[in-house]
Structure 1
Amino acid sequence: MCGIWALFGSDECLSVQCTCAMKIAHRGPDAFRFENVNGFTNCCFGFHRLAIVDQLYGMQPLRIKKFPYLWLCYNGEIYNHHTLQKTFDFDFQTKVDGEVLLHLYDRFGIKKMASLLDGVFAFILLDTANRKVHLGRDTYGVRPLFKLLTDDGFLAVCSEAKGLTNISHSMSEEVSIEPFLPGHIEVFDLKLSGKVQSLQMEPFHCCTQEPTHALYDPLQTLPAGLDEETVKSNIRSLLENAVRKRLMAHRRIGCGLDSSLIAALLVKLAKEEKLPYKIQTFSIGSEDSPDILAARKVAAHIGSEHHEVNFTAEEGIRAVEEVIFHLETYDITTIRASVGMFLVSKHIREKTDSVVIFSGEGSDELTQGYIYFHKAGECAQLLSPMFFCFCLRILFCRKV
C-alpha cells in the first residue's frame, strides 16, 4: 500500500498545498517525495511509499529513459507484469511491477492498457508529450482513489479524501470530493496553464464481463457434461493460482486466519516457492474466545508461526475514533467489523516484520457466500458498491 496525490492547475503556492498530502503519510512509512512537473510549474505529484517490490528503484513518480514524457504514480500490485513483459517483449528498466503500465500505454493506449492488467490498482498517468492526464481504478475498487475537479479546470487527486479536504483554490462554488469509479478510466486534456478538461470517462471492465487478461475456454468448446471431480480440480487450481500470483512481494508475507483455507495454501506455496522465512499467522479476540481457540488449532495444523492478539471491550471502544478516521465512513457494519482488524494490524506493524498480509476479506461478498445474499434480486447489484464498505476493510488493514 502506498499513497498517491497530485495537483494539476493549482492557483496557490504548491509548498502550502503539499501539507495536505502529509495527511496520508501513514500509507507510506518508508519514503516520500514531492515533485513538480517540468514545464507545468503549477502541477505536482506527491507519493508516500510502502516498499513492497523493488526497494531500490521503486520510488515514484515513476519515469524511465525510454519514455521521458510519461509520469506514473500508482498504488497497487500488478500480478501479471512478468507475463505481459514476456508476451509483448517489453524491455524493463526496473523490477517495479508498475513499469508495465508505461509500456502498455505506449503501445496500446490507455483503455487497453487498463483492461490487460491483472491486479489491484489506482493510478495517475501523465503524458506531457500529448498533454493528457489519465486516471484509473481496478474493477472492484480494492485500491482507493478520490478526485476534486473545479469548474475552472483545477484537478486534485488522492488515495484518501482527507488529503483533499483542505486544498485551497479560488472556487465560485463549493466542490465535492468524489470517489473515482472502480473499473473506469478518465482522460483529461492538460492545457498549457496546467488546468485540465475532462474528455472521456468510460468503463474498461465490470464484474459481469470476462477479464481481457484471463485465459479460459469458451463455453461452446466445453464438453457437454463436466464430471464433479473435474469441477473440484478446476476450483482448487484457480484458488491456488490466486494465492500463488500474490507471492510477488519482496518483503515478508503473513496471513490472517479469517480464512484458514488461504492460510493453509499460503504455507504450502511458500514452501514450494522456497521463501526464506516461516509464514506468520495472526488472530485476534478476547482471551479464550472460540475464534482464538479455533485459530490456534489451525495454526498448529498448518505449521505457521502464530501470533495471538487479545483485547478487551474497552480497548475496542477506544479504537473506534481512529478506525473512523482511517475508514472515512460512518457505516456501522464496516466500523464494527474493522475494529479487530485495526488492532491486529497495529500489532503486526509494531511487533513483527511482516509487511504484506493475506486476508479472506471480500470473498463472501464476491461469491455470495452469506445466506442473506441468496434473496438478492441481482448479484451484480451487490458487487458494484463493494468499494463503499467491504473493500474499505481490506485497505484499512494495510494503513495502520
Structure 2
Amino acid sequence: MCGITGWIDYERDMTQEKKTVKSMAQTLNRRGPDALNVMAENDVCFGHTRLVVVDPAGGAQPMTKEHDSGTYTICYNGELYNTHELRDALKSLGYSFHSHSDTEVVLTAYIAWKEACVEKMNGIFAFAIWDHKERQLFLARDRLGVKPLFYKKTDRGILFASELKALLAHPEVEPVIKEEGLLEVIALSPSRTPGHGVFDGIDELRPAHWLRLNREGVKVQRYWQVSSREHTENETETAASLRNLLEDTVSRQLISDVPVASFLSGGVDSSALAAFTKRTFTKENRGELPTYSIDYTGNDAFFSSNHFQPDADAPYAEKVSKMLNTNHRRCLIDNSELANVLDEAVYARDLPGMADIDSSLLWFCKQMKQDVTVALSGECADEIFGGYPWFHQQAEDNEIFPWMRSLNERTQLLRGEWRERLNLRDYVSSRYLETIAEAPTLAGESDEDARRRQLFYVNMIWFMTTLLDRKDRMSMAASLEVRVPFADHRLVEYVWNIPWEMKNAGGREKGILRQALEGLLPEDVLYRKKSPYPKTHHPEYANAVVQRLEKIIEDHNAPIHDIFDHKKLKQLCETKGEAFKKPFFGQLMTDAQLIAHLIQVNTWLDHYNVKIDIRS
C-alpha cells in the first residue's frame, strides 16, 4: 500500500511547488516507508510514498505512460485482485506492459476505458490520474471505502491526499472546524458522515465514487451501488455459492511478493479466512502460514462472561491454529502501554476514534509488521450477514443509528452554551434519514423486510466503513497492508439479496455463512456465538485512563474545556465512567473507553491546534 497526495492549480507553475507537495507526502511516510517521489509540471504536482508489496522494481510511482492518445501519470494506493484478467483484456485491445505491477494495469485501464475503468476493477484502491494533454484530473475510490481519499477544492484547482494530515500540511489549509464539524465529532464519533472531512472546506471522496477536475470545474459521480433483486437459490445452493465466492476471494487476495499472514481471533470469520489461506499456501507450496491474535496481560484473571462476550478468544484461536498447523503468535499488550498508545492512534486517524479499540489494533499491527507486510482480516462479515445484536432486537428508535443510544448523555457532557446550541439528536436523525433514503428497494417486499434492508444498508454505509477506516489507519500507521476478503464487492452484492430467514439459517446469527463453512472448521468454532473485538477487563487500564483524564482536566488551559463541562468530566473520573448512563459507542463498549475517547478528543484538539469557528 501507499500514501498519495497532490495539488492541481491551473494558475500556478507547479514545478515551483515540489517542496510543498513533498512536505505533504512526508506526513504519509508510514503508509509508504520504502520510497518517496514527487512529479511536477505546469498545473500539477503529485507526491507518493510507497510500501513495496508487488513488483519492487517495476512499480515505482508516480508512474507515467505514453500512448497514442497522450501522456498519463498515476498516483495509486491500493491492491487490484483481478490484475491478470484486466491485463489480458487490455493486451487483447493492443496495449503493452513494461512491468507486472497492478499500478500499470490501473493506469492502462484508465487510458483504455476512462471513467468506466473503475467498474471493471476488483480491489481496494484510491488513485489519481493526470491526463497531460487534456490537463484533467481523475480521482477514484474503491466500492466499500477500504482505502481513504480526501480533497479540498480551491479557487484554481484542488488538493487531495490519502489522509487529512497531508492536506493540513499545506500552508493554505487551516485546521478549522465549524458547527457541522463539531457535531460530527461530538454526535457521530467514531463514525463520520460519508463524504464529510470534518475540517472546514475538506471533503471525503465517498466510496464507490469518482471525481473529475478540469478547467470547467469539478464533477463527482457514483459508479457502484448494491442492487435489490429476488434471491433465486435455495439454502443449499446459497451455501455452496458463498463458499466458492469466499475461496476465490481469499486466493485472489494472497497475491504478494512479500510475506503474508492472517489475523486469527478464534471467531468464525477470521478462522474461515485462515483456513482458506492455509489451503492456498499448501496448494502453492508457500510454506508455513503465520497467524496472529491479540490479548491483554492479566485478562484471564478479570474476564467475566456476559451476553455480548460469552467466552474468551484464546482457546479457540489455539484450536484453529493447531488444526491448520499454523505458526501462531498470541500478542499480549500491557494495560499501561494500551493507555499510552491512545495518542498515537489519534495521529493515525487524524480524528478522535474508538479509544483502545484503535490503540490496541495499532500496537497489534506493529507486532505483526515485525514478521510480515501483508495480512488478511475478517472485517465486514457481521455487517453483510447481520451478526450484530441490533439485527436481532426490536429498535428503540427508528430514526437514529441502532448502535448509537447515548445522544442524551453526550449532550449532558457539553458545556452549557453547547447544550443550548447543538442539537445532537436532530443532526444524527437527519444523517440517518438521508442514508435510508439511498437504500435500494425491492418491489413487493414486506414492510418488515424493507426496514431490515434499510438496516443492512445503514450498516454497510456507516458501521462497516468506520471499521474499514479503523483497520486501514491503524495498520498503515504500522506500515502493514491489511486485506479484507469479506469486503469483496462480488460477495457484498450476492449477500445483499439473501433473505433474512436464510441469512439467519438455523436460528443462528450468520447461519448461512456457518453452513457454507461446514467441514472447514471445528464444530465448536463454527457454531461459536459471536464475540466482539477483544478488549481489556483489567482494572489497571481503567485506572490508567482515569489518571490521564484527571491530569488533563486539572489543566485549565486544556482545549477539552472548550467543549465539555468541567464538573461532568470530574464526575466521570470519580465514578470511573459509571456516571455516563449508556455505553458511548454502542452496546459492546466499556466505561473506560468513554474516558479514553475523551483523552483522544483533547489530544486531537491540542496536537492539531484545532480552531472552533462558530459564528452566529
| Amino acid in structure 2 at the alignment position of 1:383 | M
Letter matched to residue 227 of structure 2 = Q
2:101 aligns with 96
CA distance in 2, matches of 1:316, 1:103: 45
Moved more, 279-288 or 63-72: 63-72
Which deviations, in whole Å up to 9, do the C-alpha atoms of 1:22-43 show, x marking residues without a partner? 1111111111111213xx1x52
Deviations 1:180-206 (A, max 9, x none): 1111111111x5xxxxx5342110112
Q: Report if the CA contact (8 A) 1:361-1:393 is conserved.
A: no
- Name the residue aligned to 2:50: 49
Partners of 1:392 and 1:320 in 2: how far apart? 17
What do the CA deviations read for 1:84-110 (whole angstroms, capped 9, x no partner)?
A: 222342422211112222222222221
1:248 deviates by 1.3
Partner of 1:382 in structure 2?
Answer: 459
Deviation at 1:381, TM superposition (A): 2.1
Residue 232 of structure 2 corresponds to residue 155 of structure 1: no
CA distance in 1 between partners of 2:386 and 2:136 (Å): 39
- Tell me which residue corresponds to 2:294: 284
Q: Percent identity?
A: 25
Between structures 1 and 2, the one with greater strand share: 1
Does 1:119 find its partner at 2:123?
A: yes
- Residue pair 2:24, 2:167 contacting (<8 A) in 1 also: yes
Q: Is the 8 A contact 2:140 2:210 kept in 1?
A: yes
What displacement does 1:44 show? 1.1
In 1: Cα distance, 2:21 partner to 2:120 partner: 35
Deviations 1:190-247 (A, max 9, x none): x5xxxxx5342110112x239xxxxxxx969x6xxx4543322211111111101101
Partner of 2:80: 78
Q: Secondary structure at the match of 1:249?
A: coil
Alignment of 1:141 onto 2:148:
no
The one-letter code of the counterpart of 1:273 is E
Q: Tell me: CA distance 1:45–1:104, structure 2 relative to 1, closer, same or farther (3 Å).
A: same
Change in 2 beyond 3 A, CA 1:45/1:187: same
Deviations 1:285-339 (A, max 9, x none): 12474323322222111111111211122111111110111122324xx333222
Q: In 1, distance between residues paired with 2:211 and 2:122?
A: 19
Q: In 1, are the aligned partners of 2:18 and 2:38 still within 8 Å (CA)? A: no
Q: Is the 2:79–2:123 contact (alpha carbons within 8 Å) kept by the matching residues of 1?
A: yes
Which entry has the higher C-alpha Rg, 1 or 2? 2
Corresponding residue for 1:232?
239
Structure 2 CA distance for aligned equivalents of residues 270 and 61 of structure 1: 33
Q: Is 1:269 the equivalent of 2:280?
A: yes
Higher mean Cα deviation, 11-20 or 66-75? 11-20
Question: How big is the shift at 1:362?
Answer: 2.4
Question: Match of 2:210, SS?
Answer: strand
Alignment of 1:238-387 (within 5 A): 238-258=245-265, 259-275=270-286, 277-287=287-297, 289=300, 290-331=312-353, 334-349=354-369, 351-352=370-371, 354-374=372-392, 375=395, 377=451, 378=454, 379-386=456-463
SS in 2 for 1:98: helix
For the 8 Å contact 1:257–1:263, the answer to whether it is kept is: yes
Per-residue deviation, 1:397: 1.7
User: Partners in 1 of 2:376 and 2:20 — Cα distance?
Assistant: 38
- What is the alpha-carbon distance in structure 2 between the residues aligned to residue 137 and residue 122 of structure 1? 4
Instruction: Classify the secondary structure of the residue corresponding to 1:74.
Output: strand
One-letter amino acid of the counterpart of residue 45, structure 1: F
2-structure distance, mates of 1:76, 1:205: 18
Aligned to 1:52, the other structure's residue is in SS state: coil
Question: Match for residue 445 of structure 2?
Answer: none
In structure 2, the residue matched to 1:194 is none
Secondary structure at the counterpart of residue 124 of structure 1:
strand
For structure 1, the 5+ residue unaligned runs are 192-196, 211-217
TM-score normalised by length of structure 2: 0.57
Structure 2 counterpart SS, 1:168: coil
- The aligned length equals 371
Distance between the aligned counterparts of 2:243 and 2:87, measured in 1? 27
Specify which of 211, 214, 219 is matched with residue 200 of structure 1. 219
Amino acid at match of 2:362: F
